[in-house]
Structure 1
Amino acid sequence: MTNQSPTEVEKARGLHRFAVLTAAATFCLIFIGGLVTSTGSALAVPDWPLAFGKLIPAWQGGIRFEFGHRLAAGTVVILTLVLMAWAWRAEPRKWVRQLVMLAFGLIIVQAILGGITVLFELPLAIAVTHAATAQALFCLMVSIAIFTNPRWDSTPHVDEPPSRIPLTTLAVATTAVIYMQILVGALMRHMSAGLVIPDFPLSFGYVVPPYWNEFIAVNFAHRCGAVVVTAMVLWTVTRVLRTHRDVVALRRPALGLFLLLIVQICLGAITIWSGRSVIPTTSHVAVGAAVLATSLTLTLRAYRILGVPSRAHALEARASSRAVERQVTA
């Protein structure tokens, strides 16, 4: 998007703002979806796509949450359709237009999965897939918002100091671990296993549960995953602050990732201590999505600013590391 006229720049900004709006709406949809699960309202409306055979049912009990979720999903579908049409007219980069088309296709798949979930009364595999697709859609929307930012193409390149594991690789690994942790959390939530271990940070008063079943195993796996996520996030954030503290585009998402991690850990603890109260439980789902999106943002910016790590860079990093080791042992 370099060398654009003021009119073209303003059009690009308009598309970017609408992409941000669509990403924000998708985040709200995840929160409302979490609210449906937290309140046990997933089957409050037993039919689909109608609701009790009507377009608009009576707003009472769990119907408010389930039908509100459907309205939110419909809103995101419309926003994504508008975004796709807008990008097709105003976005010169073919790969960005294809991403928006992929997002529209994904949200249609998500809607179908939601309908199957209702019609077949919450089959576990479909319910977890529905949650996984929601997170993937949110990541895709965040990526589109980042790529449509007019400043994306003008971001300056920065050299990365030699290291065994490039920051880009570390950030990708961290994002992948967070996504897997969210999937384990979704599995635990849809198995109704969130409170099978009733205490925290211990498990039945022990570090490792003294007895097991499939529900305890999933719950404890989610707790172990939280430890892995914490370690990966701290590693990534420390790396950014140590080597790229002056790069604002990397420092800000790194610090945001750290703060969101602290909030997420606190919400997880409160969820257990409160017996899965609705607000902390739903917030735990939403903040998990925010942690994932922030890690993804850091990853994309790292690739843009630092570039794709090359084989020569890796060899240089290994040689530098060996030289340091020889100096230490000498």
Structure 2
Amino acid sequence: MEQGSLPGRRPKRESPWPHRLALVTAGATFLLLLAGGLVTTTGAGLAVPDWPTTFGYNMFTYPWSKMVGGIFYEHSHRLLGSVVGLLTILLAVALWLAEPRRWVRWLGWVALGAVILQGILGGLRVIWLEDRLAIIHGVLAQAFFALTVALTLFTSREWRCPPSPLEAGAVPPLFRLCGLATGGLFLQLVFGALLTHGGGFLTAHLGLAGVLALLIPGLTTRILTRHADRPGLVRPASLLCGLVILQLLLGLGAYLNRLTSIPLPFQAVLGLALPVSHRLTGSLLLVTSLVLTLRVYRLRVAARAAAYPGGMPRQVPA
């Protein structure tokens, strides 16, 4: 019998809806990043000059027949942003009503606040014509995507079951490597936004890419050789390494296409596909590294609990 439950009564079943909504919200946010990448690459960010209306129309009643050229990209981006906002509202409410862990409930409200702020920043970017807002808007989009993925992990069945701990001495170095990788990947996205909207920080962007190209394969090798029996670590680590290789190739293509005069085949198609794919792969790298870091963090807590049973609870908080 579950501790604290009354005799003859079954424990309350946890609702699956917070996890489902978190998963759908994360997926919709990824599509929103795709739409945002298309807007940025095509230069359609100012194709619709007013906000929150669209050429004087209510945003949701703007005629589909008029969505042509850059207007199609920008207005679709706005509509998809509204969908993500609605999903985030539903997620925050579902967490507040059905999630027993207070910190997860509050993360839902943080996500809601972030998506509201993101919408306001996007609108002010149109009204004020300020490139710095575009940079902040792009970086916050990546952070929000990472938060939705984290909420998907926190509300999963995996996170409610305490893990078996690793050896105490093996966890801190692994956690530091994961933290460095995740922090470096987020900083790389910041440099990418600065390069896209401001034209600077190319050297920093390339230099950090070189560091990450060494750090992430080293992290993957450590996990594959020392923790091969942990599929929860092996899978994201392997995916992370594969994404790094893909990202380096996409980055090289984007560099050649944008910053050199070297002719590339299918110039028109690659000119759109390469930078958009480069940004999306960067997003996937960030959230994959974040999932790996969070899983290692749980193992770190479990290792401490096992090493100091008198000073810490044996069970890792869900």
TM-score range, shorter chain: 0.7 to 0.9
Cα distance in 2 between the residues matched to 1:263 and 1:82:
35
Aligned counterparts, 1:169-208, within 5 A:
169-191=176-198, 193=199
Residue of structure 2 equivalent to 1:201: none
Could you say if the C-alpha distance between residues 308 and 151 of structure 1 is closer, same or farther in structure 2, counting changes exceeding 3 Å?
closer
Residue of structure 1 equivalent to 2:311: none
Cα distance in 1 between the residues matched to 2:240 and 2:91:
28
Cα distance in 2 between the residues matched to 1:112 and 1:171:
33
Q: Is the 8 A contact 1:157 1:304 kept in 2?
A: no
Q: Is the 8 A contact 2:168 2:303 kept in 1?
A: no
Cα distance in 2 between the residues matched to 1:129 and 1:26:
17
Q: Is the 8 A contact 1:157 1:306 kept in 2?
A: no
Matched, 1:288 2:295: no
Q: Is the 8 A contact 2:163 2:302 kept in 1?
A: no
Task: Indicate the SS of the match to 2:47.
Answer: coil
Task: Indicate the SS of the match to 1:307.
Answer: helix
Residue of structure 1 equivalent to 2:312: none
Could you say if the C-alpha distance between residues 140 and 171 of structure 1 is closer, same or farther in structure 2, counting changes exceeding 3 Å?
same
Cα distance in 2 between the residues matched to 1:244 and 1:64:
48
Which amino acid letter does the alignment assign opposite residue 273 of structure 2? I
What is the TM-score normalised by the length of structure 1?
A: 0.81
Which amino acid letter does the alignment assign opposite residue 143 of structure 2? A
Bigger mean CA offset, 228-237 vs 157-166: 157-166
Q: Which runs of 5+ in 2 are unaligned?
A: 259-269, 308-318
Q: Is the 8 A contact 1:157 1:307 kept in 2?
A: no
Equivalences, count:
283
Q: Is the 8 A contact 2:45 2:126 kept in 1?
A: yes
Q: Which runs of 5+ in 1 are unaligned?
A: 194-214, 314-330
Any idea what the Cα deviations from partners look like across 1:26-84, whole Å, max 9, x if unmatched? 11111111110011101001111111111215211100001111011000000000111
Which amino acid letter does the alignment assign opposite residue 240 of structure 1? I
Matched, 1:84 2:92: yes
**CA deviation after TM superposition for structure 1 residue 170, in Å:** 1.5
Pairing partner for 2:103 from 67, 85, 95: 95
Q: Is the 8 A contact 2:171 2:296 kept in 1?
A: no
Q: Is the 8 A contact 1:15 1:148 kept in 2?
A: yes
What is the TM-score normalised by the length of structure 2?
A: 0.83
Residue of structure 2 equivalent to 1:317: none
Cα distance in 2 between the residues matched to 1:101 and 1:295:
24
Cα distance in 1 between the residues matched to 2:183 and 2:158:
26
**CA deviation after TM superposition for structure 1 residue 309, in Å:** 7.8
**% same residue:** 39
Cα distance in 1 between the residues matched to 2:107 and 2:168:
32
Q: Is the 8 A contact 1:107 1:137 kept in 2?
A: yes
Matched, 1:150 2:194: no
Residue of structure 2 equivalent to 1:166: 173
Pairing partner for 2:228 from 238, 245, 248: 245
Cα distance in 1 between the residues matched to 2:134 and 2:249:
26
Cα distance in 2 between the residues matched to 1:190 and 1:259:
28
Pairing partner for 1:8 from 13, 33, 37: 13
Residue of structure 1 equivalent to 2:56: 53
Pairing partner for 1:125 from 125, 128, 132: 132
Cα distance in 2 between the residues matched to 1:270 and 1:167:
32
Q: Once superposed, what is the RMSD of the aligned Cα atoms?
A: 2.1
Q: Is the 8 A contact 1:27 1:138 kept in 2?
A: yes
Cα distance in 1 between the residues matched to 2:111 and 2:171:
35
